[in-house]
């Protein structure tokens, strides 16, 4: 899938760019984005089999308070940035997480956090759900399956038994319930290299099963395919990688381009570099050099920037696409993982 082709004498396009060109969408450009997504570290209490960040308890990368303060300055100085999306790793493991959330919420920004939920069962983390509710923070939580077997296979044994009581606590606080405005979205991803089933059908299954088995409610389900990178890629044979990448490329759907995340967000790594999305961050491909760090953040130039598109972008345009945008939700993209 990664071959390149010379389209004109002076431009060599990769396979994804060729599809963009053929469908009249080249080059892909960002719009007037309203979401700032911050990866506050790669440390995680889990070690999921599909994690393209390869987050784990051993990772040490962590966003410093200085970088967080600079992000808060950027949020304050740029009114179009209405939303901050905090992710990781497990973002709760950054010791300045509470400060970041409270400061962003205090300046009137919509704050959403990614969580694997199991973190709230760890010592010292038990009070975070109440804190998030107090600050009206939206939670986007990964839950790859409704069964214990499915969750534990991806996330490690015992995970399901940790997250079910956490979801019940979140519901008791009002999360996921009609009329509370405390939003709780769940994220499905397949167990291996595969596209996600049809979202609305899957949401019905999740809602019915979680209500029936545990009395749990939530707002929307986001259904994502797995990015063939990081830990998942290392577990696959060359043949499996080629077959999966070919499937993603064959299922290219130009209609999905409208909602690809990079057009609606800017992504910031723990060390303050700017990327089009988390996948680009993992690939080390920053936005253009003179506007690629927090120090030279320039909203007007970043809105309308040409996105660095690579063959990994096929993950966002296969079938219904990877938008992180459930039906009826506002354009508030983010990470291709729940947490
Ligand atoms: S997918 Fe999320 S919860 Fe799992 S290891 Fe990666 S960051 Fe942690
Ligand atoms: S992988 Fe990133 S840069 Fe590529 S289309 Fe998806 S969101 Fe955009």
Question: pLDDT digits over 276-307, tens only?
Answer: 999 999 999 999 888 999 999 999 999 999 99
Band of pLDDT at residue 225, cut at 50, 70 and 90? confident
Q: What average pLDDT score do residues 27-40 get? A: 97
Q: What average pLDDT score do residues 166-189 get? A: 96
pLDDT reported for residue 4? 52
| Nearest by Cα to 254 from 200, 170, 202, 321 | 321
Provide the whole-model pTM. 0.92
Q: Would you say residue 332 lies in a domain?
A: no
Domain that holds residue 41: 4-317
Q: Would you say residue 337 lies in a domain?
A: no
CATH number, domain with residue 291? 3.20.20
Band of pLDDT at residue 197, cut at 50, 70 and 90? confident
Q: What percent of the chain has pLDDT over 90?
A: 80
Band of pLDDT at residue 229, cut at 50, 70 and 90? confident
Q: What is the distance between the alpha carbons of residues 205 and 131, in angstroms, rounded to a whole number?
A: 30
Q: Would you say residue 333 lies in a domain?
A: no
Burial of residue 210 (CB within 10 Å: 0-12, 13-18, 19+) is buried
Residue 168 has pLDDT above 80, yes or no: yes
Q: What is the distance between the alpha carbons of residues 207 and 218, in angstroms, rounded to a whole number?
A: 7
The finding on whether 321 has its CB within 6 A of some atom of ligand 1 is no
116 Cα to the center of ligand 1, angstroms: 7
pLDDT reported for residue 148? 96
Q: What is the mean pLDDT of the chain?
A: 90
Q: Would you say residue 207 lies in a domain?
A: yes
Residue 325 has pLDDT above 50, yes or no: no
Q: Would you say residue 267 lies in a domain?
A: yes
Question: Looking at the 3D structure of the chain, how many domains does it have?
Answer: 1
The finding on whether 210 has its CB within 6 A of some atom of ligand 2 is no
Tell me the three state secondary structure of residue 5.
Answer: strand
Q: Which of 110-114, 196-200, 228-232, 327-331 has the lowest mean pLDDT?
A: 327-331
Which DSSP letter does residue 323 get? -
Q: Would you say residue 323 lies in a domain?
A: no
The finding on whether 20 has its CB within 6 A of some atom of ligand 2 is no
Distance between alpha carbon 62 and the CA centroid of its chain, in Å?
18
Q: Would you say residue 197 lies in a domain?
A: yes
Q: Would you say residue 186 lies in a domain?
A: yes
Q: What average pLDDT score do residues 119-138 get? A: 97
């Amino acid at each position: 899938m990664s071959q390149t082709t010379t389209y004109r004498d002076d431009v060599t396009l990769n396979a994804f760019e060729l599809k963009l060109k053929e469908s009249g969408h080249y080059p892909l450009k960002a719009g007037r984005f309203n979401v700032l997504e911050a990866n506050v570290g790669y440390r995680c209490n889990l070690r999921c089999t599909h994690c393209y960040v390869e987050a784990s308890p051993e990772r040490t990368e962590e966003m410093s308070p200085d970088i967080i303060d600079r992000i808060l300055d950027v949020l304050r100085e740029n009114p179009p940035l209405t939303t901050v999306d905090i992710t990781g790793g497990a973002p709760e493991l950054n010791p300045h997480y509470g400060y970041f959330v409270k400061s962003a919420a205090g300046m009137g920004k919509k704050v959403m956090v990614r969580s694997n939920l199991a973190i709230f069962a760890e010592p010292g983390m038990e009070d975070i759900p109440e804190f998030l509710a107090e600050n009206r923070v939206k939670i986007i939580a990964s839950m790859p399956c409704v069964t214990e077997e499915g969750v534990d296979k991806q996330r490690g044994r015992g995970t399901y038994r940790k997250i079910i009581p956490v979801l019940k606590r979140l519901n008791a606080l009002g999360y996921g319930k009609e009329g509370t405005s405390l939003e709780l979205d769940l994220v499905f991803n397949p167990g291996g290299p595969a596209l996600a089933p049809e979202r609305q059908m899957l949401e019905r299954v999740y809602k019915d099963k979680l209500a029936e088995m545990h009395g749990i409610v939530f707002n929307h389900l986001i259904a994502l395919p797995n990015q063939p990178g990081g830990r998942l890629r290392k577990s696959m044979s060359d043949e499996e990688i080629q077959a999966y990448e070919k499937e993603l490329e064959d299922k290219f759907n130009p209609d999905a381009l409208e909602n690809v995340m990079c057009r609606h967000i800017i992504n910031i790594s723990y060390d303050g570099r700017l990327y089009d999305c988390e996948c680009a961050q993992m690939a080390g491909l920053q936005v253009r050099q003179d506007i690629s760090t927090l120090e030279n953040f320039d909203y007007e130039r970043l809105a309308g920037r040409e996105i660095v598109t690579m063959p990994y972008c096929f993950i966002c345009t296969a079938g219904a696409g990877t938008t992180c945008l459930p039906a009826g939700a506002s354009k508030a993209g983010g990470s291709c993982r729940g947490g």
